[in-house]
Structure 1
Amino acid sequence: MAQMTMIEALRDAHDVAMEKDDRVVVYGEDVGYFGGVFRVTAGLQKKYGKSRCFDAPINEAGIVGTAIGMAAYGLRPVIEIQFADYVYPAIDQIVSEAARLRHRSAGDFTCPIVIRMPTGGGIFGGQTHSQSPEAFFTHSSGLKTVVPSNPSDAKGLLLAAIEDPDPVIFLEPKRLYNGPFDGYHDRPVTSWKKHPLGDVSDGYEPIPLGKAAIRREGSDVTVLAYGTMVYVAEAAAEETGVDAEVIDLRTLLPLDLETIVASVEKTGRCVIVHEATKTSGFGAELMSIVQENCFYHLEAPIIRVTGWDTPYPHAQEWNYFPGPERVGEALKKCMED
């Protein structure tokens, strides 16, 4: 075991996967010689050569399209889209080709590609470097969507994604990349100064897709979150004193329905937290699932705490996405109903 940041854990996952299976190839914009804009792939080209880790032109549709061809040929491409905001030119390749290849070929071909993307705000990247587009992908049948919240999960889930025979969208919260962070800059809130460092296994230990993790056990209310919002939810519970059970979904599709239902049936209340905009966000789907499966156990309306229904506001980003105050207000309101 070693203490790693999420960047180091992701790099380690690439390394052990490439060492284990020579079909794994890594490429994207600046991922080879430079090692990626966030340095996730640093050193891989030097170790495995330019045929296993290489740079691609600034052409997201071309990057994904060639990955689909490589996968059909028998390789296992792991590609990086430099920011999740840049993926839109490749949407047609992802949803019309990669997601449908197994079905349209009647199972003759699979598409074992992983599409890695830094996602979310918090680094003052502006509206073209800060979006959270997970709902686009969860709407597309044939794709799996993963959002890790800590280094250990980042490595284990990425290894599982590389093993998977179907395309996996792997969204990496940028605010969790480099270890300790403070969601309020200099505000002295101890509970919010989390350390997303973690003990990460040195070996090859995939974490199965489709299994959530209970980060904080509680009996008052269930909080469903993923990525950075897991830490926000934990901080809100600590600050308000509400005995919240915080569930880290980890995989949005396939979703761990069993863990969600068991928790909501226990608490009778549910708050859903995500950074993306509210309208048609993934929280709407979670809300429907909880309502359909837990209606007779609910003691209060389900509440969503999300980003605003606006283009990403660069100057107001720390107000845009949920913080412990907004989530705390939702927890207290849920307990009052």
Structure 2
Amino acid sequence: MAEMMYRDAVRETIREEMARDESVVVLGEDVVGGMGTAGGPEAIGGIWSTSTGLFEQFGASRVIDTPISESAIVGTAGGLALSGKRPVAELMFADFIGVSLDQLWNQIGKFRYMFGGKTRCPAVIRMAYGGGYNAAAQHSQCVHQILTGMPGLKVVMPSTPEDVRGLLRTAIRGDDPVMFLEHKALYGVSGEVPEGDYTIPFGHARQVTAGEDVTVVATGMMVGVAEAAAERMAEDGIGVDLLDLRTTSPMDEEAILDSVEVTGRLVIVDEAPPRCNLATDIAALVARKAFSSLRAPVEMVTAPHSPVPFALELEQAYLPSDDQVEAAVRKTLDYR
């Protein structure tokens, strides 16, 4: 097992896939240049340093700086995918998907369906999302609930460098459009990564901690928040069955329902605001399919229904915390 940083896992996986398959191309704003550089081998590879060195190795025909136009980036990725390429496109911030919704919702997500299955669209759209970076309301949002609600798109939210490697390989090698969401606060996190060419299938949740007292479901950055709470509660003898969904579309419904059948309690942690988010979707799923197993009302730990604040103290108060997760778990345990 090697130690690798989250951002390095992104970059090295893309590098390996480009070397393995000449149809893989990278495009996006500043993926060559960035931060005032003129491009070329000296470039840092964007503000997140997730494409550093790719231009030097693969050249201008496969690593393409684009204009500041998310609609152009996503539209180009769709066209490249239809013409036999495997584009890996980057949106610098997930918040900007709003200007490319037609390309995503009405085009890329529907190509295979509307063409009667006679075509494929293997486009991977990478984007940095989430709060905790003091980047204000237009650069700190979670958009997974919007993308998850669009049929035809697969939505991936890795929480560890290991999962970045396995899930990104699956995304690039697949034949469907994938929205690959990378939490910006995780880029500097390190973790062990297995050696070799491994993939992780979509729709299979990861059990982070095992327990029989309460089920906790989380994604992305919130997995670490929930894990901190679970480890603290374990000292009090509370067993938390923590599930990292990994992908929200497809979603591992079976893992959630099987866990709730054992624990009888459910807490969902979601960084997005509470109205029509992933937490409400999972709560509805369990209410429909596992109601008889529940021994307590479902609890949700989410951000408030508000834009993300800029002030550091307010942003920290806005984001779900391990203390809030623990309080929600203990609340479900009050029902005996």
Amino acid at match of 1:21: D
Q: d(CA) in 2 for partners of 1:41 and 1:128?
A: 23
Are 2:147 and 2:155, in contact at CA under 8 Å, matched by a contact in 1? yes
Are 2:218 and 2:245, in contact at CA under 8 Å, matched by a contact in 1? yes
Specify the alignment match of 1:61 in structure 2. Answer: 71
Are 2:209 and 2:230, in contact at CA under 8 Å, matched by a contact in 1? no
Structure 2: segments with no counterpart, 5+ residues: 34-42
Q: d(CA) in 1 for partners of 2:307 and 2:192?
A: 37
Specify the alignment match of 1:238 in structure 2. Answer: 231
Structure-to-structure mapping, 1:67-216, within 5 angstroms: 67-179=77-189, 197-216=190-209
Amino acid at match of 1:323: S
Structure 1: segments with no counterpart, 5+ residues: 180-196
Are 1:273 and 1:305, in contact at CA under 8 Å, matched by a contact in 2? yes
Give the root-mean-square deviation of aligned CA atoms.
1.0
Q: CA deviation at 1:54?
A: 1.5
Per-residue displacement from partner, 1:122-150 (whole Å, max 9, x unpaired)? Answer: 11111111100111111110000000000
Specify the alignment match of 1:32 in structure 2. Answer: 32
SS in structure 1 of the partner of residue 271 of structure 2: strand
Q: Which residue of the other structure, out of 232, 247, 250, is the alignment partner of 2:243?
A: 247
SS in structure 1 of the partner of residue 89 of structure 2: strand
Amino acid at match of 2:247: T
Per-residue displacement from partner, 1:3-44 (whole Å, max 9, x unpaired)? Answer: 111001011110111111100000100012331210001001
| Correspondence 1:49 to 2:47 | no
How many corresponding residue pairs? 320
Q: Identity of counterpart residues, as a percentage? A: 43
Specify the alignment match of 1:186 in structure 2. Answer: none
Q: CA deviation at 1:312?
A: 1.0
SS in structure 1 of the partner of residue 270 of structure 2: strand
Specify the alignment match of 1:299 in structure 2. Answer: 295
Q: CA deviation at 1:202?
A: 4.3
Q: CA deviation at 1:204?
A: 2.2
- Give the stretch that moved more between structures: 233-242 or 160-169: 233-242
Displaced runs of 4 or more, over 3 A: none
Amino acid at match of 1:200: V
Q: d(CA) in 2 for partners of 1:290 and 1:214?
A: 18
Q: CA deviation at 1:199?
A: 1.8
- Give the stretch that moved more between structures: 142-151 or 238-247: 238-247
Are 1:16 and 1:204, in contact at CA under 8 Å, matched by a contact in 2? no
Q: Normalization by structure 1: what TM-score?
A: 0.93
Q: d(CA) in 2 for partners of 1:324 and 1:239?
A: 9
Specify the alignment match of 1:310 in structure 2. Answer: 306
Q: Which residue of the other structure, out of 266, 280, 299, is the alignment partner of 1:284?
A: 280
Amino acid at match of 1:328: E
Amino acid at match of 1:41: S
Amino acid at match of 2:180: F
Specify the alignment match of 2:324 in structure 1. Answer: 326
Q: d(CA) in 2 for partners of 1:233 and 1:299?
A: 21
Q: CA deviation at 1:71?
A: 0.5
- Give the stretch that moved more between structures: 254-263 or 269-278: 254-263
Are 1:28 and 1:54, in contact at CA under 8 Å, matched by a contact in 2? yes
Specify the alignment match of 2:37 in structure 1. Answer: none
Q: CA deviation at 1:155?
A: 1.1
Amino acid at match of 2:199: P
SS in structure 2 of the partner of residue 157 of structure 1: helix
Amino acid at match of 2:68: I
